[in-house]
Amino acid sequence: MARSAAGPPTSDADGHRHSVALGVLTESRESARFKAMESTWLTQFDSVMVFESHTESVSRVQQIWKYVPQRLYERFPGAHFFLIIDDDVFIHHKLLLDFVHHRDPQALVLYGPGFCDWGVKADLKSQISAALGMPMPEYIHVV
């Protein structure tokens, strides 16, 4: 469902330009959850890549998630920001652009949900770093 190779920049409410590439993990493009996304807000994003698991197996889904960041970056190397979500998430396009409006796209940061405990457990951070094959950012912002 990728709409463009680099993703044209979009403008936020103040006219600043940002490019946000979106990776969506779903069991299937035919699932009710994915269809709901597609028929509502997903089309507001120009750079979308869909990853289908075709299973409810947690281990299979985890294996797919492992490669999402790399594949998303390879597909949209010009994007300023990357957003990876499951198919049960609602994203308000304008509020997302308002959020990234004041962020430096050159800064090496990872934004994520608080329940993941990002940045708190050194062992978890080390495992993520090893899986990605790169050091984790010094500062990880939890939102």
Q: How many CB atoms lie within 10 A of CB 32?
A: 8
CA atoms 143, 33, 87, 58: torsion sign: positive
Q: Give the pLDDT score at 41.
A: 92
Give the global pTM: 0.66
Decide if pLDDT at 117 tops 80: no
Please state, in angstroms and rounded to a whole number, the distance separating the CA atoms of residues 9 and 6: 9
Mean pLDDT is lowest, of 36-45, 50-59, 62-71, 106-115, for 106-115
For 21-49, the pLDDT digits (tens) are 999 989 999 999 999 999 999 998 889 99
